Structure 1
Amino acid sequence: MISIVAYNPRWPAVFASLRDGLVGPLRGLASHIEHVGSTAVPGLAAKDVIDLTAVVPSLDHLPAVIGRLAPLGYSHEGDLGVTGRHAFTTPAGAPAHHLYVCAHDNPDFARVLAFRDYLRTHPDTARAYAELKYFLADRFRDDRAGYTAAKSAFISRIVTTAMDAGDS
């Protein structure tokens, strides 16, 4: 079931805790770890799941990343249909989150950041996105693919606006 909840002011702290637990194991591999997705936008309603992306110089580092994350309970899931972005399972007992790894020059990651940063600086657009998410979560209650597809036009429009304006 898709469940959208009001913004939780604890989300940045949960992200920081997750990030801090990954910095040491990924030292020398990941240049930084970004908080992405709706939980990264202050005030935005979201699924109660933190999305974070570890950024590496190239995917040549992926085998080493997989090796360092395994002892922490993360298992590599592949790209899950998103070329250049690799997903990992959430370790048992950890806060709900999605960990991804991608190269710094991944064009899809640039779009993710553009969308996040635009919503952070345009609260009216963020409110419109929240309203859309609530509506679609109700409409596509048990259809994650339908929910995601229904958001795509809105997201694409905002990404294009953000990248054209240089707001990313």
Structure 2
Amino acid sequence: MAEKTKIVEVVPYDPAWKKEFIRLRDFLLEITGDLIIAAEHVGSTSVEGLSAKPIIDIDLVMESYGNFPEIVQRLSQHGYVHQGNLGIEGREAFRREQEDGFMKYHLYVCPKDGKGYLEHIALRDYMRVNPAAAREYEEVKLKLSEQFRDNIDAYCEGKTEVVHSILRKAGHMI
């Protein structure tokens, strides 16, 4: 099971997040680069100016599940454990067993047409070009992080409505 965030903390945007993503992406491409078609920075840390939990979300995108067994094998050789989809279709989660010198991150492997991946990209891209949507999302996250400081499940559940609203505005059907 994924390690749950014990304290929900939303902090102001940090330009270092982009640099950390690049460092992490380059490391993961060394392991899986010939098996994936893209490595995407997703989640709130990928939207400049947006406050976020200081956790990088990265999607390694594969053509199809045909390469997935080899991806799992390679990642496992570098200390990653496959956790399944954790309830999100089209998104396979991995966790690193040991400290690796990166800031905290969530690693997902997704097929290019997977629901989880497509939602990650739609949400990120819409907020990047629609500052009002990003601010609305930020306000909800800040409020929820204060209200549910020690309950990540309630925090995530509380964001669902605004996330779905933004995805609808982005033209992404839920």
TM range (shorter): over 0.9
Correspondence 1:6 to 2:50: no
Task: Work out the CA distance in 2 between the residues paired with 1:27 and 1:130.
Answer: 33
Task: Work out the CA distance in 1 between the residues paired with 2:166 and 2:43.
Answer: 14
SS at match of 1:27: helix
Asked if 1 retains the 8 angstrom alpha-carbon contact of 2:63 and 2:111, the reply is yes
Matches within 5 A, 1:7-156: 7-90=13-96, 91-93=98-100, 94-156=102-164
Asked if 2 retains the 8 angstrom alpha-carbon contact of 1:36 and 1:52, the reply is yes
Task: Work out the CA distance in 2 between the residues paired with 1:160 and 1:84.
Answer: 19
Please tell me the residue identity of whatever aligns with 2:103.
P
Asked if 2 retains the 8 angstrom alpha-carbon contact of 1:36 and 1:112, the reply is yes
Q: Deviations over 1:107-129 (max 9, x none)?
A: 33212111101110111221221
Asked if 2 retains the 8 angstrom alpha-carbon contact of 1:73 and 1:92, the reply is no
Task: Work out the CA distance in 2 between the residues paired with 1:82 and 1:30.
Answer: 20
SS at match of 2:80: coil
Asked if 1 retains the 8 angstrom alpha-carbon contact of 2:89 and 2:115, the reply is no
User: Unaligned regions of 5+ residues in structure 2, if any?
Assistant: 1-6
User: Unaligned regions of 5+ residues in structure 1, if any?
Assistant: none
Task: Work out the CA distance in 1 between the residues paired with 2:151 and 2:119.
Answer: 24
SS at match of 1:8: coil
Moved over 3 A (4+): none
Task: Work out the CA distance in 2 between the residues paired with 1:8 and 1:163.
Answer: 29
Asked if 1 retains the 8 angstrom alpha-carbon contact of 2:110 and 2:116, the reply is no
Please tell me the residue identity of whatever aligns with 1:92.
E
Normalising by structure 1, what TM-score? 0.93
Q: Deviations over 1:115-160 (max 9, x none)?
A: 1011101112212211110100111111111111111110101101
Normalising by structure 2, what TM-score? 0.90
Task: Work out the CA distance in 2 between the residues paired with 1:96 and 1:2.
Answer: 13
Q: How many residues align?
A: 164
SS at match of 2:60: strand
Residue aligning to 1:161: 169
